[in-house]
Amino acid sequence: MRRSSPTTGLLVGLVITLAAVLLDAWYMTRQIAGLRVVQTDLADRARKDSLQLLRIQNDLNSLALAMRDMLDSDEPYPLTAWSAQFERIRLDLSDALAREEAVAVATRTPEQRQYLSTSMAQFWDAVGRIFALAKEGKEPDARDQIRLSLQARHAALSTTVARLLVENNAAEEEAAARVERIYSDVQRQEYWFVGATLTTILLMSLYLIRSNRRLFAELASLSDERREFARQLIETRESTLHEISRELHDEFGQLLTAMGAMIGRVARHVPGDSPLQGELHEIREIAQTTLDNVRGLSQTLHPSILEEAGLEGTIEWYLPTVERQTGLAVSYERSGPSRPIPNAIAIHVYRVLQEALNNVSRHSGSTRAWVRLRTSPDALELEVEDHGAGLVPVAPTGAEAPAADRRRRGLGLVAMRERAAIVNGSLEFLNPPAGGTLVRMRVPL
């Protein structure tokens, strides 16, 4: 049964993660913008508003000091001498009130705004009447007006400004509280976002691990099935070759042997000077040559000598045959203690040797090969080395080998790997320093 790919689940997790990141980025941008408004707009305006209110309060204090001096009976100056000072303070107060109105943070009702402007206008009207009385020489009446009216209006203005300062301080505290709330909300949101992101990543990772384990389990199962199928194919091939080899050796070998014997009996009944003697002798040699070829083919298909002489004896018999059939000069080196190799292992080592030497003679372009067999108490190692073209055959003209030839060689390499896997061994294709190819098979014993 074909299982669904984990790609869909991973894409869903990726989309969720990206959506969470974008949502968090939007939220952070929005909160930072609000924080900027609170810090730069509200806090900065509150600071400027406080400065202007302090300026107004300072002007009111200056007016209070001026009125105290004006009421002082020991003061030698007439009341009109303070008109210039009052005018300067009036101008500064007007400017301060205008600036304070522009940057005011605290919310004021229209009645509050009207009260402040009305109180200020009434105060200056009273100041104007006092200086008018003073110009008319009615300084006692002017001083009475200062005590009865002007100081009361001044006190009301001071109270109003003080209240505005309190409201402004409250606005600053509220702005600071809003900043703190924004920081808390952002921190809490980040905790949620980090937790959600980590949870999503954890779930995606668990899902990916589970999917990978399932896929690797399926791959391992398929690999085991493929290996078992390859083993059965190789065993079937060996069994078939064994049957064909036995048929060639028994049937055709016995038939050719009988033919040679019959030709010998016929030759004994033919006079020695008869021309038939030469023809019979030639036929007998052809039959013997055919018998030798059949026996050689039988050994090639399935070396029965492997069961009699073992792996080492079979290799010593096979290498001269290769030299004779292919013209390839083979150097053989044997090292390590001699020990019997089970036939179930020996047949696969022998087949790898056959395929490797066949590749050397057909594809490498080399005329020389080196075969090394090493044994140890726990392993057997076979090496076949040549200094030819290497694993990628290149014709003398630089053209690639035919596709059918490359395909046949590729299947041969696959078969070699499968044979090594069947006996729990390893197969390596290396590049020796002198060039060419080094095939190394190692089998545990």
pLDDT at 329: 92
pLDDT over threshold 80, residue 215: yes
| Cα radius of gyration rounded to whole Å, the chain | 56
- Among 146-155, 205-214, 404-413, 430-439, the minimum mean pLDDT is found in 404-413
pLDDT at 311: 86
Helix axis angle for 343-359 and 403-422, nearest 10°, is: 160
pLDDT class of 302 with cuts at 50, 70, 90: low
Q: What is the mean pLDDT of residues 374-398?
A: 75
Residue of 7, 1, 2 whose CA lies nearest to 211: 7
240 or 65: which carries more pLDDT confidence? 65
pLDDT over threshold 60, residue 398: no
> Strand (E) positions, 182-284?
none
Q: What is the pTM of this model?
A: 0.49
pLDDT at 404: 54
Q: What is the mean pLDDT of residues 259-278?
A: 76
pLDDT at 380: 92
**Which residues contact residue 114 at a Cβ distance below 8 angstroms, ignoring those fewer than 6 apart?**
none
Give dist(CA 319, CA 330) in Å, integer.
7
Please name each of the domains of the chain with its CATH number.
7-208 (1.20.1330), 309-444 (3.30.565.10)
| Mean pLDDT over each residue of the chain, to the nearest integer | 80
pLDDT class of 332 with cuts at 50, 70, 90: very high
Are the C-beta atoms of residues 311 and 351 closer than 8 Å to each other?
A: no
Give dist(CA 211, CA 223) in Å, integer.
18
Mapped onto helix, strand or coil, the DSSP state of residue 140 is: helix
Tokens of 382: 């076979």
- Terminal C-alpha separation, the chain: 39
Give dist(CA 426, CA 417) in Å, integer.
8
pLDDT over threshold 60, residue 216: yes
pLDDT over threshold 50, residue 163: yes
pLDDT class of 397 with cuts at 50, 70, 90: very low
**Which residues contact residue 262 at a Cβ distance below 8 angstroms, ignoring those fewer than 6 apart?**
none
pLDDT class of 440 with cuts at 50, 70, 90: very high
Q: Classify residue 435 by its DSSP letter.
A: S
pLDDT over threshold 80, residue 110: no
pLDDT at 403: 56
pLDDT at 384: 93
211 or 356: which carries more pLDDT confidence? 356
- Among 106-110, 320-324, 404-408, the minimum mean pLDDT is found in 404-408
pLDDT over threshold 80, residue 132: yes
Q: 33-56: per-residue pLDDT in tens? A: 766 666 666 667 777 888 888 888
Tokens of 168: 């402004």
Q: What is the mean pLDDT of residues 415-439?
A: 89
* Most confident region among 4-13, 244-253, 255-264 by mean pLDDT: 255-264
- The alpha-helical segments, DSSP class H, found in 270-303 are 276-301
Helix axis angle for 151-247 and 44-71, nearest 10°, is: 170
Centre a 10 Å sphere on the Cβ of residue 172 and count the other Cβ atoms it contains. 19
Q: What is the mean pLDDT of residues 17-43?
A: 72
pLDDT at 17: 75
Mapped onto helix, strand or coil, the DSSP state of residue 219 is: helix
Centre a 10 Å sphere on the Cβ of residue 405 and count the other Cβ atoms it contains. 13
Are the C-beta atoms of residues 157 and 120 closer than 8 Å to each other?
A: yes
Mapped onto helix, strand or coil, the DSSP state of residue 379 is: strand
Mapped onto helix, strand or coil, the DSSP state of residue 439 is: strand
Q: What is the mean pLDDT of residues 327-348?
A: 88
> Strand (E) positions, 42-112?
none
pLDDT over threshold 90, residue 306: no
